[in-house]
Structure 1
């Protein structure tokens, strides 16, 4: 079963990629950097969800 954090993290990671690309396209370094941060946060949340799900499976 997929954990809620995996879904939310994946969405944040994709949003970060879009934000980074938009920042790069318009030459806005701050927007580009925010996109990179969002990607890291999203990937971290997604991985947390995977670990949480794996632990849940091991306990069951």
Structure 2
């Protein structure tokens, strides 16, 4: 199953590319900059979706490893914030 963040990220990237291209065609640097920002945001959202897919795959394929990783992370966060 593909994460919705991945799909939305690709769509945002495509819209950003179109916006960037239109800005370049019209000589509008503000529109180009907005397009590039949308591309970046879309790519970041796509990477986030990829990460969620990977985490889901690992947790379903290796639940013990996922549980141990979560326990280790919880211990680390507790140790960091417990020092206050």
Shift of 1:41: 0.2
Q: Which has the higher contact order (CA 8 A, sep 6+)?
A: 1
Instruction: Mark the runs of 5 or more structure 2 residues left unpaired by the alignment.
Output: 61-84
Runs of 4+ in structure 1 deviating by more than 4 angstroms, as ranges, are none
**What's the TM-score once normalised by structure 2's chain length?**
0.71
**What's the TM-score once normalised by structure 1's chain length?**
0.98
Task: Give the structure 2 partner of residue 13 of structure 1.
Answer: 13
CA distance in 1 between counterparts of 2:53 and 2:32 reads 32
CA distance in 2 between counterparts of 1:29 and 1:44 reads 22
Shift of 1:9: 0.2
Shift of 1:50: 0.4
- Whichever of the two has the greater Rg, that structure is 2
Task: Give the structure 2 partner of residue 24 of structure 1.
Answer: 24
Q: Note the aligned Cα RMSD (angstroms).
A: 0.4
Equivalent residue of 1:2, what SS?
Answer: coil
